Structure 1
Amino acid sequence: MADTEHRPEEQEPLLAPESERATFSSFIGKASQEPFSFASKILLAVILVLLLLSSTFIGLFAGLQHRLSSSRKPDQGDDLPSVTITETYTITSTQTSTIVPKPTSSPKTPENICLTSDCVVLASSIITALDPSIDPCEDFYQFSNGGWLREHPIPADKGIYGRFNALAVENQRIAQSLLDVSSEVTESAGPDDVTRAKLANLYASCTNETQLNDLGSEGLLKLTRKVRNLWSATPEAPEEDTLRHAQLREKFTDAVAYLHSIDISAFFDIGIEGDEGDDPNFLVPIFSQPSLGLLAKEYYQEEEVVEVYTSVIEKALFVLDETENNSTSHTLRTSSPLVNAQEADQRMPWDKRASSPSKSQNVWPPWPFPTWGDPQPPKRENKTTRVKRLAKEVVHFERRIAQAGADLDVLYQDPIATYNPYPTENLTALLPVLDFPVYLSSFAVRSFPHKVIVTYPPYLTALSQILSNTTADVIESYMVLRIFFTYAENLGSETELWQINRKLFETLNGIKPGAVGDRGEWCVSRVENALGFALGRFFVQETFIGDSKTKGTKVITDIISAFKDSLRKLPWMDKSSADAAAEKASAIRVKVGYPLSPNTTNAESIERYYASVKIDRSDFFGDMLSAAVDNEKKAWATLGKRRDLEAWEMNPSTVNAYFNPPANEIVFPAGIMRPPFYHRTWPSYMAYGAFGAVAAHELTHAFDSSGRMYNPQGKLEQWWSNATSEGFEERKTCISKQYSAYTIDDGKGGQIHVNGNLTSGENIGDSGLVQAFRAWKSQYSQSLKQGEEYILPGLNYTREQLFFIAFGQVWGQSIKPQAAVQRIRTDPHSPNQFRVDGTLSNIKEFAEAFKCRPGSKLNPPVKERCELW
């Protein structure tokens, strides 16, 4: 659309002087004295209606014009407005530079302007999100997102809110409309009807807070009783210490297996993935370190956070113990440590337990206490004292586990170091307190594994030592607390245990105490976690329509082609390595939208993905437990089998995407293929700038610091030449240093540096944006002929600039300091501001598009750029 030109006020009247012509008032006066005919009355009524409509539209147009003009500088006579930027330097002088963007083609070309309602809405969303007062060459993140950030403060119940979160909420609202339906199933119901009824029942049981509060904490208590019974039941005491140790090892094994069967991370984790070093499509167990109660090892060194965490543990243990004592007998044990096989004949046996205390006894241990050779009986403890002691000792136990684990940058960035195959029988020697063959047999009933991949062997050895020096009651408390922290959120919000658990969540995310979000929104997320593929089937039918998949796939394949074309132009990559990289890029499987066609009616295929778990409308806690158990069974059922090449790891409604190295696949759920990332009717420069950035990111993961170590078949091996590997490492080091220099505010007056080593893989993934730009450019001529490069109204930016604006705007995000610190410590992604500005500072095409002066923040000298691609 041609811009409205700025004209000076008229200096001469356009009409004759009033004394020389009849006035409008005199005409009205005369007309009022004449009688009105019927036709005159009709005509007058029509005129009045037209006047009212005209005034309304003029008012609307004036308001829109005011909004558009207020978001940019007034035109100075050129075809496009200039952006005046004032920069203040340390020498206290000011310098003014003028950026005059040059469009790819004149926006005044009438046939290129889109004036449909969709185009107006899209243009308006872009304009209102910008902050044109910011120099895009100095802070493009704020330039592209300042308006959106002002209009979207962080909700009180969240620690973070950005474009990803906003779209997730929109998706949840769509899903909510699909869930809020009748759950009645007739005899003639088909697979979809049965599945939809299960979804509706689960959602209904979650939103019925009155019922949840009435049920109380009984569901969680059943789990704690189960694990306590497995761990504390006293075997018949044999004469030999070694046999006694074997019996207790069996109980520890049973307790750990039970926790893992209900999807609780405790002591260690085991997942099922391809054997990356041998056959990536043959599925084996992967042994790794567990999740932490405080999420990251750094938190265990912070006095304030540890104090809150200890308090939460105290309260949880007190409530759980109090309820246990009132509802069921509880066998309490001595404080003897858990010993390994080598020490069993030298240390006090750790199965010497006291008999159950009576309900009137409120002391620990009960009297008389069997000392088993101790010269003095242990001191008696009342319940409060015991809970306080246990809370401190559990925190100390977890701190030691955290310190024993590998740093996250090793786990995320070095697949060679984390590939350590062991024969199953050898694991018990590393961790003698656990009978691994028995543990694995409880899951792998039909396909017992003879090989396990250990991500970090030193952790096994350290865990054995930690357990050997930890008392049995602390181990029990740790297991009980892992159940509490995993499942307390599924209780009613009026239960004491729910409120205790909420306190820790609020602390780590900087949320105002008592600020709880919409229950329906949260319940949709629970349904997605439990039955995500079932819900995703109906979500896709509702949202992923028309040629969305076809056009989205074209963006991805264009980027793959552009990437392959660029390989031989890289100065650090030789021809043989470039050919191998092109082969891998060609072999990548591209999955878009959903794992199963929404039009599928085959009952067996639908059941395969969706409809196995049973749902009881009256027991939300039990439903979530059943779903967790069912998902664990499904995962273990794949053990020893070939990879299902059609399987997905993310639900169709998820706002995310991923690259799976052993499977050599990139996956884009339908949930992320919606505005502000993608729409099938968008102009190409927007689609490639927003969704193309996501696609290029996932593709580039196949060649980042970790992904590059997997060959085209997904197997770990050195498939680049030494010289190429060295060239890559040099540029990787440059990127790591660049991002390590960035800092965030810790909320306490200090600064925390980004861990450039931890985030290097994701930063390299973000650098793939240049491939999306090249892909867009390579198809531009054809796209222009097809009318897919049309101009949006009111946007005085070139198509190239809008490409980068589309990229920048998907990363808009507000975050509280506490949540930002948590992300720095646990997330392999850099903070969003640096994902934008850090990425663009390495892309010369960006500086060219915005005509950034040399030396500006996002146009550094060539020698300071970390150019990889």
Structure 2
Amino acid sequence: MTGIPNSLSGHSVNLMARAGNTCDTKICKTAATSILHDLDVNIDPCSDFYQYTSVGTFTDLRNNNLDSLRDIIELTYDELLTGAKEKSDEEFINPSQSDRDRSNFNKIKSYYETCMDEATIDSLGPTPLFPDIKSLLDKLNFPVGLDSRFTTDHVRQLTDALIYLGNEGVDNLFSFDVGIDDKNPEEYVININQPDLGLPSREYYDQADVIAIYRNGLISILSSILGNPKDSSPLEELRRTKLAENNLSILSNIEIENMVDRYIEFESHLAKITLANDQFQNPIDLYNPMTIAELHQKYPVVDWIKLIRRFIPEDASLPSNVIVIAPKYMQDLTDWLVNSANRDDGVTTENLREFFIIKTILANIGYIDKPNRDLYRNMIGKISSGATETPPRSRICIGQTSNTFGQLLGRYFVMKKFGGESERKQAAKFLDNITSSWKSRLQDVSWLDSETRSRALEKVSKLKHKEAYSLANPDDRSPESLAQYYNGIEVTPKEYYKTQQSAFQWSLKKEWKDIGQKVNKDIWYMDPHEVNAYYTPTFNEIVIPAGILQSPFYDSDLPRYLNYGGIGVVIGHEITHAFDNSGRLYDGDGRLNSWWTNATATAFEQKSQCFIDQYGKFTIDGPNNSKYNVNGKMTLGENLADNGGINAAFMSMRKSLSEDPENNLALPGLESLSPEQLFFINFGRVWCSNMRPEMAVQRVLNDVHSPAKARVNAAVQNNPEFAKAFKCGAPGSREMNPVDKCSICKLENELPP
């Protein structure tokens, strides 16, 4: 591709194309080359904008960041510091804390190297799992046998098992964690919810071919871990010895097959009583406070006082309320267990024992030997990811290092790749610009009544943002702050499994110590190097990490119209979440509160239905020529955010063109493209992605985000400015310019193209 057809030039006069108005810097030349490479000029953008721009910037940048993190962690500290001095500032490089910084760096380097030591990990086989299975069985001193039905006489043993599993991070009969109280966002609260399943969602349990793969995979895993030794090799002899030391029986082939069949039957019943993903969209429906006495009355299968007391700090009082997010699931689970003696599908104590054993194995299989990891990966690959090759161990280990030491690893990413306070403050100004545009747009929305508009403007005025990296709890600029934050994680070289257990215990303790404390709003829920962003309704805050503040999303030296089409749309997307179908139910102080008038709420619901219907018509291709429709209800919040984000960013871009022309010069070789066109092109490049059919199905069933093609094409279909920029003709004449456009924030003065 050597150029852009003249037919794609903007309908408006392109002032940037005048002599001397082209950016000739290295970064502009690189951006122009990248855009030319990414566009398929044989595709009409008005017919299929996704195909015209299909690249996948998110995936590419995430992989690049992982590679950068790997390169950083494989340096020595002195090599890191030498490179960081070229990019970072004095806020990050403080000679008085260099010893602490070196110690921190060496700690995560040791963690990474322990993960990379596959020879040691493989030499142990699955044996690190055995003490955990033994400890579980010691708690589960149920009567043994398939004829022993569960009754309320077994509540003590079940409670002890749930405490143990919760302390080990093993999914079980329900989830149980700490969150922010939606109606009192200054306080932490305990949430009780339905569990994660072994398969990606409840729909998979109705597919016979999937269950067959699941069954065969589990049989292979259990045979490798608990089955008869295959030979007399040293590793198999070690496995036999360690099983005996932990009083674990070697299982025959038929015992394993029967155990797996019972496990799948049990889990399939759990899947049947779970709620579908699209039933978790309304936070008011999910907010069900109950006293501990009510828990005992409604769900008498657990000793709730004992369970809660074992997790909260010793000096904390029992909470007055907990939040039950899925009461229907909890009631159905209780009825199933309590009435097991009188049901054909009743639960036996052996069902529970086997279910918890397999869950323990699956929860920890990523930390044992490669042969067992591969068995699990192959099974899941066939079912839901389509992956056929194992990623490089370095990518797996840098991902684990990030999961464990995210803020600390992020510090070194910022030092090496981002810069420091001057870059962060520039990004903060950019966020302010988008917020200002969103606020201006609210003032002109025709269907908002004065009362709701006033409260909406107040909410935007109270909207906070954080950018690049954490400044407190921990302060990523301070080695001392980071050392204190991660104190408690013990890295034991040559013992990866033990190290992972230490990391989990640290994380669990950090989570539960919040009970009884005021909410810490300095906290970040992402790491600095993540290519992502988020909005927190209880904080009324958006967060944009340094990882996404990179080209092509953002660079302070790029023309502003590209930045607005990249990170500007992302920022606008997150701001829009404050007013989507879920976020709009929280006020400016982060409190779950129905502050909309009835008339305005009704108008919002009517306008939202257009998006539900529009996105529900998009499909993805699954395996074996199958097709799945997008769930317009489940994805509504993200779809609204996509559309609101592109509108807010475009409005800011237009303002920038008139107020800041020197930072909106044309790109070399792309002078025929208007800034409006390049805005949309950068947007398309950001969101496009490709994935295997199995993964596409998993996403469409579970992900609240629409598939990439729907995200790109639906957003431009709804945007009149896109049709103007690309001369898409009269409404209805081209696929990307339909007559009926969905809009929540249609303005009084908004005219058709």
The answer to whether 1:522 aligns with 2:396 is: yes
The alignment partner of 2:2 has SS state of helix
The alignment partner of 1:111 has SS state of coil
1:857 to 727, 735, 745: 735
Q: Determine the C-alpha separation between the residues in 1 that align with 2:414 and 2:289.
A: 40
Letter in 2 for 1:314: I
Q: Which residue of 1 aligns with 2:106?
A: 197
Is the Cα–Cα contact under 8 Å of residues 536 and 651 in structure 1 kept in the other structure?
Answer: yes
Q: Determine the C-alpha separation between the residues in 2 that align with 1:550 and 1:250.
A: 55
Q: Which residue of 2 aligns with 1:433?
A: 301
Render the CA deviation track for 1:406-464: whole Å, top value 9, x for unaligned. Answer: 221121x1101000000023212333221111111111032232211010111111112
The alignment partner of 2:625 has SS state of coil
The alignment partner of 2:180 has SS state of strand
The answer to whether 1:122 aligns with 2:8 is: no
2:683 to 793, 803, 807: 807
Q: What's the offset of the Cα at 1:609?
A: 3.4
Is the Cα–Cα contact under 8 Å of residues 206 and 523 in structure 1 kept in the other structure?
Answer: yes
Alignment of 1:195-274 (within 5 A): 195-232=104-141, 248-274=154-180
2:457 to 560, 582, 594: 582
Q: Determine the C-alpha separation between the residues in 1 that align with 2:179 and 2:461.
A: 23
State the percentage of identical aligned residues: 30
The alignment partner of 1:666 has SS state of strand
Q: Which residue of 2 aligns with 1:169?
A: 63
In 2 relative to 1, CA 758–188 (structure 1 residues): closer, same or farther, beyond 3 Å? closer
Q: Determine the C-alpha separation between the residues in 2 that align with 1:529 and 1:122.
A: 32
Q: Which residue of 1 aligns with 2:260?
A: 391
Moved over 4 A (4+): 244-247, 323-326, 328-331, 597-604
The answer to whether 1:421 aligns with 2:289 is: yes
Is the Cα–Cα contact under 8 Å of residues 313 and 391 in structure 1 kept in the other structure?
Answer: yes
Q: Determine the C-alpha separation between the residues in 2 that align with 1:611 and 1:192.
A: 14
Q: Determine the C-alpha separation between the residues in 1 that align with 2:475 and 2:601.
A: 46
Gaps of 5+ in 1: 1-66, 74-80, 84-99, 149-161, 236-240, 332-355, 363-381
Q: Determine the C-alpha separation between the residues in 2 that align with 1:492 and 1:679.
A: 42
Alpha-carbon RMSD: 2.5
The alignment partner of 2:524 has SS state of coil
1:655 to 511, 523, 531: 531
Letter in 1 for 2:187: F
Q: Which residue of 1 aligns with 2:751?
A: none
Q: Determine the C-alpha separation between the residues in 1 that align with 2:403 and 2:479.
A: 23
Letter in 1 for 2:415: Q
In 2 relative to 1, CA 696–749 (structure 1 residues): closer, same or farther, beyond 3 Å? same
The alignment partner of 2:284 has SS state of coil
Q: Determine the C-alpha separation between the residues in 1 that align with 2:504 and 2:387.
A: 30
Q: What's the offset of the Cα at 1:104?
A: 4.8
Alignment of 1:786-801 (within 5 A): 787-795=662-670, 796-801=672-677
Equivalent residues, number: 701
Q: Determine the C-alpha separation between the residues in 1 that align with 2:101 and 2:2.
A: 48
Q: Which residue of 2 aligns with 1:545?
A: 419
The answer to whether 1:639 aligns with 2:548 is: no
The alignment partner of 2:648 has SS state of helix
Is the Cα–Cα contact under 8 Å of residues 551 and 680 in structure 1 kept in the other structure?
Answer: yes
The answer to whether 1:831 aligns with 2:720 is: no
Q: What's the offset of the Cα at 1:385?
A: 2.6
Render the CA deviation track for 1:521-557: whole Å, top value 9, x for unaligned. Answer: 1110010011111111111111221533222222221
**Structure label with greater radius of gyration:** 1
> For structure 1, which segment, 550-559 or 167-176, has the greater mean C-alpha deviation from structure 2 after superposition?
550-559
> For structure 1, which segment, 726-735 or 617-626, has the greater mean C-alpha deviation from structure 2 after superposition?
617-626
Letter in 1 for 2:443: R
Is the Cα–Cα contact under 8 Å of residues 684 and 788 in structure 1 kept in the other structure?
Answer: yes
Letter in 1 for 2:333: L
Alignment of 1:71-110 (within 5 A): 72-73=4-5, 81-83=6-8, 100-102=9-11, 104-110=13-19
Q: Which residue of 2 aligns with 1:505?
A: 380
Letter in 1 for 2:22: I
Letter in 1 for 2:29: V
Q: Which residue of 2 aligns with 1:665?
A: 541
1:456 to 326, 338, 362: 326
Is the Cα–Cα contact under 8 Å of residues 573 and 724 in structure 1 kept in the other structure?
Answer: yes
Q: Which residue of 1 aligns with 2:409?
A: 535
Render the CA deviation track for 1:327-373: whole Å, top value 9, x for unaligned. Answer: 44699xxxxxxxxxxxxxxxxxxxxxxxx99x7xx8xxxxxxxxxxx
Letter in 1 for 2:365: A
2:650 to 743, 768, 773: 773
Q: Determine the C-alpha separation between the residues in 1 that align with 2:488 and 2:505.
A: 11
In 2 relative to 1, CA 618–188 (structure 1 residues): closer, same or farther, beyond 3 Å? farther
In 2 relative to 1, CA 118–611 (structure 1 residues): closer, same or farther, beyond 3 Å? farther
Render the CA deviation track for 1:286-337: whole Å, top value 9, x for unaligned. Answer: 1111111001001000111111111122223333333787544699xxxxxx
Render the CA deviation track for 1:135-156: whole Å, top value 9, x for unaligned. Answer: 11111111112xx4xxxxxxxx
Q: Determine the C-alpha separation between the residues in 2 that align with 1:817 and 1:526.
A: 26
The alignment partner of 1:281 has SS state of coil
Letter in 2 for 1:793: P
Q: Which has the higher helix share?
A: 2
Q: Determine the C-alpha separation between the residues in 2 that align with 1:599 and 1:612.
A: 18
Q: Which residue of 2 aligns with 1:308?
A: 213
In 2 relative to 1, CA 431–190 (structure 1 residues): closer, same or farther, beyond 3 Å? farther
Render the CA deviation track for 1:631-683: whole Å, top value 9, x for unaligned. Answer: 11101011121111110111111111111111111111111111221112111
The alignment partner of 1:273 has SS state of strand
Q: Determine the C-alpha separation between the residues in 2 that align with 1:318 and 1:470.
A: 25
2:274 to 375, 381, 405: 405
Q: Could you tell me the TM-score, scaled by structure 2's length? A: 0.89
Q: What's the offset of the Cα at 1:101?
A: 2.4
1:481 to 348, 358, 366: 358
Q: Determine the C-alpha separation between the residues in 2 that align with 1:628 and 1:205.
A: 16
> For structure 1, which segment, 789-798 or 244-253, has the greater mean C-alpha deviation from structure 2 after superposition?
244-253
> For structure 1, which segment, 101-110 or 711-720, has the greater mean C-alpha deviation from structure 2 after superposition?
101-110
Q: What's the offset of the Cα at 1:246?
A: 7.0
Q: Could you tell me the TM-score, scaled by structure 1's length? A: 0.77
Gaps of 5+ in 2: 79-95, 229-238, 341-345, 747-753
Q: Which residue of 2 aligns with 1:68?
A: 2
Render the CA deviation track for 1:210-233: whole Å, top value 9, x for unaligned. Answer: 111112212222222221221137
Letter in 2 for 1:320: I
Q: What's the offset of the Cα at 1:264?
A: 2.1
Letter in 1 for 2:164: Y
In 2 relative to 1, CA 432–794 (structure 1 residues): closer, same or farther, beyond 3 Å? same
Q: What's the offset of the Cα at 1:849?
A: 0.9
Q: Which residue of 1 aligns with 2:93?
A: none
Q: What's the offset of the Cα at 1:512?
A: 5.2
In 2 relative to 1, CA 642–166 (structure 1 residues): closer, same or farther, beyond 3 Å? same
Q: With CA pairs under 8 Å and 6+ residues apart, which has the higher RCO, 1 or 2?
A: 2
The alignment partner of 2:315 has SS state of coil
Render the CA deviation track for 1:183-238: whole Å, top value 9, x for unaligned. Answer: 89xx9973322221110011101111111111221222222222122113779xxx
In 2 relative to 1, CA 269–731 (structure 1 residues): closer, same or farther, beyond 3 Å? same
The alignment partner of 2:286 has SS state of coil
Q: What's the offset of the Cα at 1:867?
A: 4.6
Letter in 2 for 1:223: D
Q: Determine the C-alpha separation between the residues in 1 that align with 2:410 and 2:566.
A: 23
